[in-house]
Structure formats: C-alpha cells, structure tokens
Structure 1
Amino acid sequence: MNKVLLVEDDPRVASFILRGLEENLYQVKTVSKGYEAVNEVMENDFDIIILDIMLPDITGFEVCEILRNRKIIVPILILSALDTPHEKVKGLQSGADDYLAKPFLFEELLARINAQLRRAEFSSGILDFQSYAGIEINMKEQSASRDGKELNLSSRELKLLIFFMKNREKALSRIAIAEAVWNLELDMNSNTVDVYINYLRNKVDKNFSEPLIHTVKGTGYMLKKKTHES
C-alpha cells in the first residue's frame, strides 16, 4: 500500500482528498503546517507528498526547498490555488515534481499521483548502472561506449540508454519509458518512443554480434544480454 503525506490546511479539502485516496487503497497521513510536514518526512517513509502552498507557518515552496536540501527525493506534487505560470515555475524550481491547480478533478489528481509513483519506481533502478554487457557510460563526459567503441549518442538517446541500464533485464512499457525519459504522459497515438528505440538500436546493437535491446510483445522493450526477441 502506497503511503501519502497530505499537507493541507483547509479541512474540507483535506477531508475530500483523504476520503478519495483511502477509497483507492492509499495510506494517508495528513498535516496542516509546513514544519510538521518536514518532521514527518524526516521521521517516516512516504511514497509521495501532496503539498499545498499557502500554509500557516512556512510556504510549500519553502517545504520543498528544505526537503531537497536534505536530499529527500520523495516525489512532491504541489496542489495550490495559485495557478499563474510564475507560481508553477517557482514550484518546480523549488523542487516539486508536478503542479496541479485548484479547483481540480479528483480523477486528474489520482492520475498524476500514479504517474509520479510509476516514474519513481522505474527511475530508481539499479544504482551501479554505468557498466553492463560491454556498455560503459561516462556520466562526467555524458558519453557511452560498447566494447570500447564510442556510440555517439544524442542527449535524448543517452538518457534513454541510462534508463535501460538502470532497469536492465526488466520489461519496460512505452508509457514508463515516456514518463522517465520525456517526463510526460505518453500520447498513445505517438510513435516517439519506438522511433527513439530504433535510433538507439542502430547505435547500440548495429555491427555487434549480440543484440541487447529486445522487443517484449504486448509490453514494450527490455535491455538484456543473451536473450532472444519474442
């Protein structure tokens, strides 16, 4: 069961969100002040934080900054009546992962929560991701090679390869890839992911005896050595 920290000082809004999340089997802890939120996060594990901006003590922006300065990487979704472009940019710059304006549809809030949870699950991946099956990633130089041969990847292709390396030997859906690499929900009519997979295959697998990027029927793609495509 995913654990949510809800930071909201309006009792009616908090009750509405709490009820909806619990009906969808989330475990929710609610607080109404910024410093309470910081203390909760420092003492307990949460999968996502839903954060209002206008709080009685400090702002949600300040909460974000404090948590990020303390190396807390839990996804933060700002939920606020402040909906100008300036406020949204400020929220994202302070460390939030998403920003939803009030009033809102609960279905959209739930969809955004689920998207952040999926992204967090796949983006964490394997910590030692820089070497696998002859592939070497140099994060300092932002480059990659296979069996000593430079792959000459674009920045987007490198980000895609890093995602594969972190989640190697896992079947990855197109939606998960799009959310992690493009930071957006995938338009199901778009073939952007497939196009970039082909770009990456032409550099990672072409001219090598063993393919590493495999199609998984009905799911998406997988990076794995000594595996036949199904």
Structure 2
Amino acid sequence: MSLRAALRSAGYRVDTAATGPEGLDKALSARLDLVLLDVMLPGMNGFEVCQAIRERDSELPVLMVTAKGTEEDKVRGLGLGADDYVVKPFGVAELLARVAAALRRGRLRETQISTLAIGEVTVDFPSHSLSRDGAPLEITAHELRLLKYLVERDGLLLTRQQILDGVWGADYYGTERTVDNFIGRLRTKLERDPRQPRHILTVRGAGYRFSREG
C-alpha cells in the first residue's frame, strides 16, 4: 500500500507535490494541518524546504520521511525544525501513529495561543480577528503574525534581526526599521497609551520584549 493510500484509508485528506518548490508553495499557501517531507526532491531538497517553511511558519507540523537515515541527517532535519524524522523502510502503523501524535501537538499549540486578552482588546488568532470592547478593528496578516511571534516568546528579549528572520524570513531584504514600523502599528491597536506601552516594550539598544501581564 502506498503512503498516500495508507493515509487516505486512515481518514486523512492528502495532497501531493512532485518537486521541492511545488511542495513549499503548497505548504505556505494552502491550509495544511501537517507536511510529510522527503529529503530527495528535485529542484529543492527536503532540508531546504523544511528550513524555508520554518522561516515563515513556526507551527505547521513537519515530518521528514526519507531513506537518508544517518545520525547526521537526522540531526540536520530536526535542527532545521522538523517535528519528527522517520527513516524508510517503516511500518504503516508506526507512521500513522507518528502523524497522529504530531497533529495532537499541533492542536495543543493552537489551543494554547488561540486567543489573547489585553485589557479591552481581544485577539482571536485562528479567525485572524481583533476587537476592542467587542468592536472589530482591522489588523493585517503581517501584524497578526508579528503579534503571534511576540506572544509565543512572552518575556524574552528579541532583537530586531531575530524578529525580521522569524516573521518575514531570513531572505527578506528589508531593514530593521520595518520592525519598528510594525511595532508602532500594533501598539496603537493593543496599548491603552501607545506612547507609554505596557505590553510591547522597547529594550533600549537591544530590541523588544512582550509582556502579557503589563
């Protein structure tokens, strides 16, 4: 039984890609719950695809399923952000168990940060919505992505370059001023007084820190 047939028999909807670039495009543009990724792909290998996914999406579960099973390969894949690394040949039951476990972990992460309440402001990440006292406010996809990145790292000092790489990707050619501009926009929507922020804090000479409590 093929991998695709096994997954479909288990009740999953399956989409496939024949090349690395095609797979990356689907991973970033489609609403996928999980990615199964081979290393040996034309156009862009699986390690490169995994790295590119992680530069733009820190949550999408990625399982590498490959014949490249050396310790070095495993360490490389996991180091690039893969959630699991399964070496061929493998049993179908084992793979399905690993898929189910990765999906459970992904749902747990979504639940943990599905909503955020800051004073009168409520953010609903799954529905991409923001409201103040129940009244909806506009928020762009990049603003929401930036906010989620900050919330996931509550209390940590983040440099502008870290934020650029984490939210816009390492291949983004903008400047660190981009971060300042987007932080300013978020403050106008989240903070009671944007000039004296309590949640998105500037660490002079270093970067920013998010504080949920304020």
Q: Give the TM interval when normalised to the shorter protein.
A: 0.5 to 0.7
Q: What letter corresponds to residue 61 of structure 1 in structure 2?
A: F
Following superposition of structure 1 onto structure 2, how do residues 145-156 of structure 1 map, counting pairs within 5 Å?
A: none
Distance 2:15 2:156 in 1: 42
1:120 aligns with 2:118: no
User: For 1:126 and 1:105, how far apart are their aligned partners in 2?
Assistant: 32
2:90 equivalent in structure 1: 104
TM-score (norm 1): 0.49
List, as ranges, runs of 4+ consecutive aligned residues in structure 1 with deviation greater than 6 Å: none
RMSD of aligned alpha carbons? 2.3
Tell me the residue number matched to 1:95. 81
Pairwise CA distance, 1:126: 3.9
Q: 2:155 aligns with which of 140, 163, 167?
A: 140
Alignment partners' CA distance in 2, 1:51 and 1:57:
14
* Greater length-normalized contact order (CA 8 Å, ≥ 6 residues apart): 2
Deviation at 1:140, TM superposition (A): 2.1
Aligned partner of 1:66 in structure 2 is 52
Q: Which runs of 5+ in 1 are unaligned?
A: 1-14, 132-137, 143-230
Query: Which residue of 10, 23, 34 maps to 1:24?
Result: 10
Aligned positions of 1:177-216 closer than 5 A = none
State the 1:20 CA deviation: 0.6
When the two structures are aligned, how many residues end up with a matched partner? 122
Give the aligned residue type for 1:92. Answer: L
TM-score by length of 2: 0.53
- Determine the C-alpha separation between the residues in 1 that align with 2:42 and 2:98: 26
- The one-character-per-residue Cα deviations of 1:194-218 (angstroms, maximum 9, x if unpaired) are xxxxxxxxxxxxxxxxxxxxxxxxx
1:70-81 mapped onto 2 (5 Å cutoff) = 70-71=56-57, 73-81=59-67
**1:96, 1:46 → 2: CA distance?**
15
Answer yes or no: is the 8 Å Cα contact 2:59–2:106 preserved in 1: no
Secondary structure of 1:30's counterpart equals coil
Per-residue deviation at 1:43?
2.1
